[in-house]
Amino acid sequence: MYSSSSVLKRLILINFLAIQLLLISSELPLNTTNEYLNHKCLVSEGKYKPGSEYERHLNNIIKMFYSGSYRGFYLSGMNNDNAILQCRADSYGTKCHDCFATALAKLRRKCPWYKGMIIWYDQCLLAITTTDAIGKIDYDNNFCMSNAKKLGGDKSAFTRTWKTLMDNLTTLATTTRGKDEYTMFSAGETLYKGDKMYGMVQCTYDLSLRACKECLVFNSVRFQDCLSDTRGARFVGGTCTFSIDIPKTMSSSSSSKRSVSLSLLALAIQLLFIHSVLSQSQDNAFLYHKCSDIEGNFTSRSPYESNLNSLFPRLSYSVPSSGFAALSTGNKPDNVNGLGLCRGDASPSDCRTCLATAIPELRKRCPNNKAGIIWYDNCLVKYSSTNFFGKIDYENRFYLYNVNNVSSPASFNTQTKAILTDLTKKATAGGHQKLFATGEKSLGEKKLYGLVQCTRDLRSESCKACLDGIIGELPNCCDGKEGGRVVGGSCNVRYEIYPFVKIV
């Protein structure tokens, strides 16, 4: 969607590197189709019978994946049926959904009635298993593909170079952005004897940072013979993948050009995709989360955990019909307070889907914290041991912005503040119970679109104070930017030069 202020330099580097790669790849006749790579039927897990309880559970999971596949990553655990879908970083949205449908159809043909099976395509991985595999490194289902063209020369120098690149990319992929957010993906380049070497690493999103690093490091050692002394190689696994490429120079023969592996173009597309997603994605993307250490931790099977487990299903049920709910469960000192808010233009179905994603993700990211908050594009979920209802949240706040600059920043900033101020008045006017407003403003041949919203536990006066405060923060993050947001625990504002929301 956007970059946060802490990763602006990385985004500029990503955009620059992507352009470099596409300049190289534009000269190469590379295949960009969603190529089938490999599959494996997990014979040891046995088979299921048609019409069995296992098949019923599996079909329920598949139904959820059809809608969840647009997000680029989806996992589900239901009884003894576990499944995971991970799409390549440039293959979210429709591409991921189409890859899932293709992979599922082929997997069912290749492994009929098997309880465990896994398949890889160029754009996605789909795994189904009876084992408790979520969050665990897959050491068994892995393979490596290498370019037939050899480099020759000093193998030890080449090995040192790609290992150093892999180490750096692994560190980037497994390092938190800010305090909490992480990506599980990184790409970059280095030099080897005057030629550029490109690399990419990615892990499935269910892994922890530590597990992602372990997966990448372990397999880079395990498959080092596949990677050494070749112009291109790609390791593909059940929980992590990486690739390296040294493209030929533009004066190479056409046969040499064809030998450059697909991963170079894939890497370029991935990088540009990240930039485009951060600029203007309208999907229900994960934005940020924060686990509070101030309120301490709870222990497993404690009264607090029991109350938290009771709160979240109630929020899932109560929020979608109206778009908001604030609830409490339990008695002091173990009571839990929580709220859920969906974007004002989100349908009950989109709201329900967002909550179904956000709540498990919040539990995973803040497993023992007594307070936590998570933001998605379509919803916010927050819980705490303290009673925060009706109070402005000044602590949980972050910025997002489009990396592109406008041509006349002073005038544009004035127009931005004007539309958001007008929308604040509209959202907090008497009788406006949703505390939400959207609108548009003409900017010559273009239009400026805006959104403001508050959590509905606030009174209209508090909502206005919250929105006025974060509108005043826009110069700190988004001065002269084509799009920007200030997102908080009680209110948020957003503006764009493209229609990202229904005008209501």
What are 220-255's pLDDT values in tens digits?
888 878 877 778 889 999 999 998 888 754 333 333
Tokens of 3: 């970059």
Is pLDDT of 276 > 70?
no
CA distance 288 to 182: 9
The pair of three-digit structure tokens given for residue 287, joined into one six-digit string: 């934005």
Residue 159 to residue 172: CA distance in whole angstroms: 20
pLDDT, tens only, 339-397: 999 999 999 999 999 999 999 999 999 999 999 999 999 999 999 999 999 999 998 99
pLDDT higher than threshold 80 for residue 56: yes
Q: Looking at beta carbons, which pairs linking 305-312 to residues 24 or more positions away fall under 8 Å?
A: 306/330, 307/334, 307/335, 307/336, 308/336, 308/383, 311/336, 311/338, 311/383, 312/338, 312/359, 312/363, 312/383
Q: Are 301 and 334 in contact (CB under 8 A)?
A: no
H or E segment at 173? helix 155-173
d(CA 377, CA 335): 28
354 membership: H or E segment, kind and range: helix 348-365
Span 315-332, pLDDT tens digits:
999 999 999 999 999 999
- Residue 60 contacts by C-beta under 8 Å, 6 or more apart in sequence? 78
- Looking at residue 194, its pLDDT comes to 79
Whether the pLDDT of residue 463 is over 50: the answer is yes
pLDDT of residue 80: 65
pLDDT reported for residue 79: 54
More reliable by pLDDT, 265 or 139: 139
Beta carbons of 362 and 381 less than 8 angstroms apart: yes
Q: Which is higher by pLDDT, 145 or 91?
A: 145
| pLDDT for residue 287 | 87
In degrees rounded to 5, what are phi and psi of residue 149?
-75, 125
- Angle, helices 8-25/263-280, rounded to nearest 10 degrees: 140
Confidence label for 403 from pLDDT (cuts 50, 70 and 90) = confident
- pLDDT score of 32 more than 50: no
Complete domains list, the chain, with CATH: 5-31+142-280 (3.30.430.20), 36-129 (3.30.430.20), 286-384 (3.30.430.20), 397-496 (3.30.430.20)
Structure tokens at 351: 């709201």
118-133: average pLDDT: 91
Q: Is 178:285 a contact under the CB 8 Å cutoff?
A: no
Beta pairing partners, 382? 339, 373
**Taking 90 as the threshold, does the pLDDT of residue 67 lie above it?**
no
Phi, psi of 189 (to 5 degrees): -145, 160
| pLDDT (0 to 100) of residue 131 | 87
Question: CB-based contacts of 323: which residues, under 8 Å, 6+ apart?
Answer: 341, 342, 343, 344, 346, 348, 351, 434
Mean pLDDT throughout 7-19? Answer: 38
261 by DSSP, 3-state: which? Answer: coil
Q: What DSSP string runs through 68-88? A: HGGGSEEEEEETTEEEEEEE-
| Rounded-to-integer distance, Cα 127 and Cα 361, Å | 20
Segment 464-479 shows an average pLDDT of: 92
List of residues 6+ apart from 360 with CB closer than 8 A: none
Task: Over range 192-221, report the average pLDDT.
Answer: 87
Measured distance CA(86)–CA(104) in Å, rounded = 13
- For the stretch 491-502, pLDDT in tens is 999 999 998 887
For residue 183, what is the enclosing H or E element?
Answer: none
- Mind listing the pLDDT tens digit for each residue in 169-187? 888 888 754 333 446 888 8
Hey, how many other C-beta atoms are within 10 angstroms of the C-beta on 503? 12
Name the pLDDT band for 433 (thresholds 50, 70, 90). Answer: confident
* HSE (side-chain half, CA atoms, 13 Å) at 73: 18
This prediction's pTM: 0.49
pLDDT at residue 441, as a whole number: 92
Nearest Cα neighbor of 308 from 328, 333, 288 is: 328
